[in-house]
């Protein structure tokens, strides 16, 4: 501290070659200015000049460049009262006589003729002498001729000095500061309103991040026990879960400088810019240490190296990553700088970046559970004028699988729907409509279907509903609709459990339910339509996951071909024989469950028709209607929480 309080000794100005360049420029400018106007001449008019000429006061008229007349008076005329102020003055001493007056004239021939007419009437000793002179400014002409070269040399010197400063493109050493970091600085003087109170849920993540903030505030608490400050923390999770929000809260809570930027801010079209910006960023952070650096979407520069060896476009990104690795854990590392980073693609990050010593902690920010969703709703409902008695727990049960961003969007959408209906407060139904709007899309009641099309859609959705009602592991149905939403011509809305593991029976029942729509079309109309496109996509994806990812197929065995990092590229990690086996098993799973759905619907054909007829009549039916037609669900004995899935019919062209 004592060293900091000492006043720095005034530095003596160093000699710079720019002083020479400046002196030369000033010299040329002075020559240009003073060479042409070294003397002050009195201005007069042609009419006054002719009066002076008639009086015999003019000794010589010097016509310069056929445009300007310089008037020289006789010595005895200079003493006259009218000419007392005409004596010229000069900045620099001169050996030649300078003109008393000067003026611009128009036509040269007419001007000469006027002078000759007056001279005829004067005595010989009173006549004015007329001379012609061509004046030029050689220094000015030289300056203008050399000006382009001077500018080119000046620009070249500027570029060379800028590029050489900072050790060959060091921090901020690039031309036009292109290599300077684009990070935004937040410190104790910045007004960052976001705090940990604004971050609902994410309790585990908040605890770990708070510990980092506490370490920076009270380092002795940890260093006394021999602990070291962590180098970095990586926030990992799906989009919209609150990773960036958590970083904003750190900026608001920490009383230390906070540098925030995106991974794409390092990327430029110029070579070496990314690495230069990394150096400049850490240089600024070290100068203000202790400090926190936050890099959002770090996968933009942190992608695993060597994946695309055939392309040379990755060299710049890899150089940037190498510089980041060096700064985070190298010989010159400053231990008072912590790096926070966020990504939703941790699987593609470079292993060297993920190791301990660089990112010591990986903080997983997952989708919120029921309790966390309730807390998030409480935050986002504060600015809304909500109806009295609004059940927040009910809303949180309606939105499993929703991220924090989804819930924020849901609250805003509900407010817009309420405003559209001219309501004074946002009600429960507005939130349910908002869920339908977000998940299913905008309701399209203007779509006109033929009687046959509407009947097909109704039987399709009734098939989904009937199959799900009589399968044990299928998610119970809440609502069925044939009102088109988004790309969907109809949809079935389910109540699945929030589960962390899924068994084979669950997968198979879900595939059977999804194929129930096409099976109903086959039974009733003895033909199938293009409306099951999304169903086919869904079942193919699930069957493929069973066989290739989760190892839930007996013939393929307990192996997985899951490749999240894309390490295999275009090369299949299995033989052609295995590929054929995989294709056969995927097809077998789907066809088996389709036949199972056909068998079930054949036995329930009567209730299927009743359900379809009610759908045609009402367009939307709920759980009460299902219980009335299908009876009490035999497997409805477990506690369920609402997640909405779409089993929709799509047009072929969509």
- Token output for 308: 């695309």
* Helices 576-603, 533-544: inter-axial angle, 10-degree rounding: 130
Where is 39: in which H helix or E strand? Answer: strand 39-40
DSSP string across 185-251 = EE-TTS-----GGG--S-HHHHHHHHHHHHHHH-THHHHTTT----SEEEEE-STTSSHHHHHHHHH
Separation of alpha carbons 580 and 459, rounded Å: 35
Catalytic residue among 316, 372, 461, 521: 461
Query: How many Å apart are CA 479 and CA 620, to the nearest integer?
Result: 7
Sheet strands (E) in 334-490: 337-343, 361-364, 477-481
Q: Using CA atoms in the order 442, 446, 450, 455, what is the torsion angle rounded to 10 degrees?
A: 40
Distance CA 90, CA 7 (A): 51
Q: What angle do CA 546, 552, 555 make, to 5 degrees?
A: 105
Distance (Å, whole) CA 320 – CA 77: 83
Q: In 3D, which of 387, 388, 409, 407 has the Cα closest to residue 399?
A: 407
Cα 215 to Cα 255, 496, 519, distances in angstroms:
11, 43, 62
Structural contact between residues 463 and 608, judged by C-beta atoms closer than 8 angstroms:
yes
Q: Is 41 an annotated catalytic residue?
A: no
Q: Taking every pair of C-alpha atoms in the chain, what is the biggest distance, in angstroms?
A: 141
> How many alpha carbons lie under 13 Å from residue 124 in its C-beta half-sphere?
0
Angle between helices 576-603 and 451-469 (to 10 degrees): 100
Q: Between 315-328 and 273-287, two packed helices, what is the crossing angle to 10 degrees?
A: 20
Closest by Cα among 532, 537, 541, 533 to 507? 541
With CA atoms as reference, report the closest residue to 518 among 653, 648, 623: 648
3-state SS, one letter per residue, for 40-87: ECEECCHHHHHHHHHHCCEEEEEEECCCEEEEEECHHHHCCHHHHHHC
Torsion of the alpha carbons at 196, 198, 204 and 205, rounded to the nearest 10: -70
Active site residues: 461
């Amino acid at each position: 501290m004592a060293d900091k309080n000492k006043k720095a000794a005034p530095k003596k100005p160093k000699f710079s070659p720019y002083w020479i360049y400046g002196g030369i420029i000033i010299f040329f400018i002075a020559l240009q200015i003073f060479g042409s106007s070294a003397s002050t001449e009195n201005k007069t008019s042609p009419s006054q000049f002719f009066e002076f000429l008639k009086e015999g006061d003019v000794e010589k008229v010097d016509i310069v460049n056929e445009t300007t007349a310089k008037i020289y008076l006789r010595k005895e005329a200079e003493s006259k009262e009218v000419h007392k102020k005409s004596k010229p003055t000069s900045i620099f001493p001169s050996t030649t006589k300078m003109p008393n007056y000067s003026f611009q004239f128009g036509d040269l021939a007419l001007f000469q003729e006027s002078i000759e007419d007056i001279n005829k009437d004067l005595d010989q000793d009173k006549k004015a002498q007329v001379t012609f002179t061509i004046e030029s400014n050689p220094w000015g002409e030289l300056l203008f001729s050399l000006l382009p070269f001077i500018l080119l040399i000046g620009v070249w010197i500027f570029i060379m000095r800028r590029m050489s400063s900072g050790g060959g493109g060091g921090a901020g050493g690039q031309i036009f500061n292109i290599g300077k970091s684009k990070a935004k600085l937040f410190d104790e003087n910045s007004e960052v309103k976001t705090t940990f109170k604004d971050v609902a849920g994410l309790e585990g993540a908040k605890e770990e991040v708070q510990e980092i903030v506490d370490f920076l505030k009270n380092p002795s608490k940890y260093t006394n026990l021999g602990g070291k400050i962590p180098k970095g923390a990586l926030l990992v999770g799906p989009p919209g879960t609150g990773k960036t929000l958590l970083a904003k809260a750190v900026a608001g809570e920490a009383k230390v400088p906070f540098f925030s930027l995106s991974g794409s801010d390092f990327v430029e079209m110029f070579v070496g810019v990314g690495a230069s910006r990394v150096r400049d960023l850490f240089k600024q952070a070290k100068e203000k240490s202790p400090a926190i650096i936050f890099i959002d979407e770090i996968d933009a520069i942190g992608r695993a190296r060597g994946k695309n060896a055939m392309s040379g476009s990755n060299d710049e990104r890899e150089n940037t990553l190498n510089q980041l690795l060096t700064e985070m854990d190298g010989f010159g590392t400053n231990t008072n700088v912590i790096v926070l980073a966020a990504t939703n693609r941790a699987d593609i990050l470079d292993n060297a970046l993920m190791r301990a010593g660089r990112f010591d902690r990986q903080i997983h920010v997952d989708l919120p559970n029921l309790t966390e969703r309730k807390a998030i709703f409480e935050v986002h409902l504060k600015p809304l004028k909500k109806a009295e008695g609004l059940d927040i727990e009910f809303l949180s049960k309606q939105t499993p699988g929703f991220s924090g961003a989804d819930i924020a969007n849901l609250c805003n959408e509900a407010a817009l729907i309420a405003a559209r209906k001219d309501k004074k407060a946002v009600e429960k139904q507005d939130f349910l409509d908002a869920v339908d709007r977000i998940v299913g899309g905008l309701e399209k009641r203007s779509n006109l279907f033929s009687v046959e099309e509407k009947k097909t859609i109704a039987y399709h959705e009734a098939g989904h509903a009937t199959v799900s009602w009589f399968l044990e592991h299928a998610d119970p149905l809440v609502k069925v609709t044939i009102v088109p939403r988004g790309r969907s011509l109809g949809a079935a809305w389910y109540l699945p459990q929030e589960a962390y593991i899924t068994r084979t029976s669950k997968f198979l029942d879900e595939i059977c339910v999804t194929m129930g729509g096409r099976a109903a079309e086959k039974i009733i109309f003895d033909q199938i339509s293009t409306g099951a496109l999304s169903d086919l996509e869904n079942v193919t994806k699930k069957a493929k996951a069973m066989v290739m990812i989760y190892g839930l197929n007996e013939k393929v065995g307990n192996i997985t071909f899951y490749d999240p990092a894309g390490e295999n590229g275009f090369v299949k990690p299995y033989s052609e024989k295995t590929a054929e086996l995989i294709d056969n098993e995927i097809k077998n799973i789907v066809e088996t469950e389709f036949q199972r759905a056909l068998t079930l619907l054949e036995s329930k054909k009567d209730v299927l028709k009743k359900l379809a007829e009610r759908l045609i009549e009402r367009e939307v039916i709920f759980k009460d209607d299902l219980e009335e037609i299908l009876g009490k669900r035999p497997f409805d004995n477990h506690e369920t929480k609402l997640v909405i899935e779409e089993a929709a019919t799509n047009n072929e062209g969509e």
